[in-house]
Each structure stands twice: as C-alpha cells, then as structure tokens.
Amino acid sequence: MSAELWNSAASVLETNWSGDHMVPSRRLYPHQWSWDTAFIAVGLAYVNPGRAWRDLRSLFEAQWPDGRVPHIVFDPALAEADYFPGPAFWGVPAYGVRPAHGSTGIVQPPLHAVAAWKVYRRAAAHGAACVQEARAELEWLYPRLVAQQNYLTTRRDLGGAGLAAIVHPWESGLDNSPAWDAALANVPADLELLTTYRRRDLDVADAAHRPTDRDYARYVGLVLSYRAESYSDTDLLSRHDFAVECPSFNAILGAAELALAQIAGVIGRTAEAAVHRERGRRISDAIVARLWNPRTRTFHARDVRTGTLSPAHCVSGLMPLLLPDLPAEQVEGVVAEAKSPRFGFPAPSYDRTAGDFDTLRYWRGPTWINVNWLLRRGLLVHGRRDEAEELRAAMVRLVHQHGHFEYFHPRTGEGLGAPTFSWTAALALDLLA
Ligand code: 2M8
C-alpha cells in the first residue's frame, strides 16, 4: 500500500509544479498560496528538495516592504478571470524582485519557518551538496522569516496583548469556519456586490461544497474595506469590521518562533536563538490568557472588537497543542476534546455534535489533512505517541482509500473538492516516511 500511495503522491506534485512554484490544484487554485507552500515543502523535502526551496523563494520574493507575506502570489501568465478575486481586484502594487507578479494584500498562517526547518533536517538524506544548499537557503530565508514575524506581532497586534489578529477569514486558511460566525455577524453582507463579480470557484466546484454567496459578499466587502486605505494597518480596528485572534494562526505564529530559534542556531546567530525562544513562550502564554475557555476546556477564536470568545468548537481550537510551553491543564483539555465525540481521529474541521455540522461544506465539517497533520505534530510535541500513531494511520488510510483530495466527507471518507491536491499529497509523503 505505501509504495502505491508514495508514487501517486509524488506524481500529484509533478503535475502541479509550474516552473518556479507549486499550485494547490490546477483548476480551482491556479496561483501560488502562502501556507500551501509550507505544507508542500514538507513533502517535497523527500522527493525534490530543490523545488521545496524554489517554491519558498518564489513566495518570499513577493514579500512586502512591511514584512507581510501575501496569501496569494499571482501567476502573470494567467488571465484575471482564472481565479476570483484576481490581481486587478486586489490592486496591489508589485513588490520585491518579481515585479511582474501581483499579490493579495492579506496574509495566511506563517508556517514557513517550521517547513524550512523540516526541509533542512531532511537534507542530509540527499547528500552533502543538498546540505550545503539547505544551509544557503536558510541564510537567505532567515531575515525574511523574521520580518514576517515582526509584521504579524507588531502591526497585526490589534488587541495589544501579544497575539496577531486576522482581518479577513481567508487569512486563517479555514475560510468559512464556524469560528468566525459570531464576528462576521457584524460585517454587512452586500449581496448586490456579487452581481458585479463572477465567482470562478463555482465554475469548477460544487456549490454545496463551497462557501455561500452570503459568505462571499462579506469576503469581498472586507477586501474592499482593507484595500480602501491601501492595506494599511494603522488604526485598522476603528475602520474595519473584522478582527479576530485565531488559536490556530497564533499557535503557528508561536511554533514559527521556535523553528526560527533552531534555524538561528544553525546559521550561527546563537544570540538570536534565545530571543526567538522567549518570543515563542510569550505567544504561548498569551494564547492561554486570551483564548482558553476554562468551562469548555478548549481554545476558541476571540473577537477583538467585542472581546468575546466564539462559542463554536472548531479544529482550530486544538492547534495550540503545537506549543511545547502549553501548561498540562491545557494539554489535557485539548487532547480530551480531540478524542471526544466532537472530533475523533482524523478530526473533522468542526464539532460533529453541533446542529449545524455540515458534512460537505468546506471548513464547516469535512476532514482536512493539513490540520490533522498539525494535530499529530502537536500530539508528538507533548509525547502522546500512541494517539499520534493512531491519527497517522487514520490519515494514511483515508488518503489511500479515497485519493489525494482537497478534503473528505467526515463520515464516509468520500473525497471532496479538488481531486489532485498538493498539500494532501505532500503531507502523505511525510506520513509515510
Ligand atoms: C482555500 O482558500 C481560498 C482563498 O484563499 C479559496 O477558497 O479560494 C483555503 O482552503 C485555504 O486554506 C487554502 O490555502 C486555499 C488554497 O488551497 O484554498
């Protein structure tokens, strides 16, 4: 079984390679996405590390002067109509050394330091030249990764407590998660707006599996609001309707500091390693102080504008397990939540017992490999080897039986969304290795 799965995963990554970057899927997502690049690098580390570094470089070549790494880098060879919203809609000036590549003005979870560290660690298996290349790539990436962290922990600390706020649901990577429902209720949904645009996703995917038009009206409205001041974060809270501290985004932010500490050690910046470790610990503390609900014994998204925690139980609430400094009480609570009837292994994106659990609709129920891969990593961080192995085996079974789909039906395992999806294939390689 594993040779067959390995080969099919490797061939998905061949098909989706576009010269200097990987696309998540050819039809639905034809450009380069930020956190996809990180998950994909983890798999490329086994079959083509040179491409892992090339992909990360392509992404960071589009980094903005303020340090933000855009959530999409657009392929200039494609037409505006190939993805909505495309480059003209975002209206972002071209930054960096790839001036022909437009980008969006929002971010995604900063998983790249974790990915780069994993690619580096795997390099020795490919020989000395590969180790040398990996070191040089880490040296190139390090200041850029630090700039990304600095942007998120300063300009995006809208709540003033040491966490980064997302200002658009797309920034979480968990687009239509119920975690944002309460905060989004305050965002006008101008359905008229959509009549002037064409939702390209509905040409290539089933509408019942995608966010609704009401969601999209809000997504478009929030981009227009952020775009109005050229994506400036100054006084953003006073003029923008959505600002949320997400437990998953911030757990990845903390894990990135710890990966940066490792990278700094390897490239001879030992004094900086201690600073990153300390920053990671502070993010971990802030997540516990701001996002833990002692009554539900799990983490929830916090609406920065109202100071309230979302009541929804979502897979994002399990992600702080990635942080080694998480106190025992929180570790126990999250592991119990993960193993409870609400989730189980592999974990669906949303509470199975909720009245509005939706087995088909994207991040409102279906099972995703990337967040389960993060959950397994978190279990290993806390020495929960048996649970981690149970989860690994369940993920491998799911992908082997149903294919490298974007997401899966949480009861039957049926593949949903894009059929040859890069991060599913890439992470399958890591789970098999
Ligand atoms: C999905 O998001 C994009 C918008 O960014 C979309 O729906 O068009 C999400 O699953 C996100 O996490 C992912 O990075 C992206 C590309 O795979 O698709």
Tokens representing 204 are 């290539």
User: CA 390, CA 7: separation in Å to the nearest integer?
Assistant: 23
Concatenated DSSP letters of 354-412: STT--SSSGGGS-B-HHHHHHHHHHHHHTT-HHHHHHHHHHHHHHHHHH-S-SEE-TTT
**Cβ partners under 8 Å of residue 111, min gap 6:** 35, 38, 39, 252, 255, 256
**Ligand 1: which residue has its CA nearest to atom 3?**
170
Q: Determine how β-strand 72-73 pairs with β-strand 32-33.
A: antiparallel
- Euclidean distance between CA atoms 111 and 119, whole angstroms: 13
Instruction: Compute the distance from residue 371 Cα to the ligand 1 centre, in Å.
Output: 13
Which residues are the active-site residues?
A: 175, 406
Strands (E), 36-78: 72-73
Q: Tell me the one-letter amino acid at 64.
A: W
> Quick one: 270 exposed, middle or buried, by C-beta within 10 A (0-12, 13-18, 19+)?
exposed
Q: How large is the ipTM?
A: 0.99
Place of tokens 């969006």: 104
280 in ligand 1 pocket by Cβ < 6 Å?
Answer: no
Domain count, the chain: 1
Q: Is residue 59 part of a domain?
A: yes
- CATH code assigned at 77: 1.50.10.10
Asked whether residue 321 is assigned to any structural domain, the reply reads yes
Pocket perturbation via mutation, ligand 1, pick of 33, 201, 374 by most ligand atoms within 8 A of CB = 33
Ligand 1 pocket member 29 (CB < 6 A): yes
User: Which ligand 1 atom is nearest residue 174's CA?
Assistant: 12
Q: Is residue 261 part of a domain?
A: yes
From 36, 168, 175, give the residue whose CB has the most ligand 1 atoms within 8 Å, as the site to mutate.
175
Characterise 165 by phi-psi region: left (phi > 0), alpha (psi -120 to 50), beta (else).
Answer: beta
Ligand 1 centroid distance, CA of 328 (Å): 33
Both tokens assigned to 51: 């491409």
- Kindly give the distance from the C-alpha atom of residue 194 to the centroid of ligand 1, in angstroms, as a whole number: 19
Is 227 contained in some domain?
A: no
**Residues near 65 by Cβ (< 8 Å), separated by ≥ 6?**
95
Of 395, 315, 414, residue with least CA distance to 357: 315
Q: What is the pLDDT along the chain (433 residues), one digit of tens a residue?
A: 589 999 999 999 999 999 999 999 999 999 999 999 999 999 999 999 999 999 999 999 999 999 999 999 999 999 999 999 999 999 997 665 555 688 999 999 999 999 999 999 999 999 999 999 999 999 999 999 999 999 999 999 999 999 999 999 999 999 999 999 999 998 999 888 888 888 999 998 999 999 999 999 999 999 999 999 999 999 999 999 999 999 999 999 999 999 999 999 999 999 999 999 999 999 999 999 999 999 999 999 999 999 999 999 999 999 999 999 999 999 999 999 999 999 999 999 999 999 999 999 999 999 999 999 999 999 999 999 999 999 999 999 999 999 999 999 999 999 999 999 999 999 999 999 9
For the CA of 211, the closest atom of ligand 1 is: 7
133 lines ligand 1 (CB under 6 A): no
Q: What is the chain's length?
A: 433
C-alpha of residue 213 to centroid of ligand 1, in Å = 16
The Cα–Cα gap between 404 and 406 comes to 7
CA distance 241 to 221: 10
* Domain-embedded: residue 125: yes
The CA distance from 423 to 406, in Å, is 8
pTM above 0.95, yes or no: yes
Residue 408: closest CA among 355, 354, 356, 372: 372
Find the domain containing 265 and state its range.
2-163+247-290+312-432
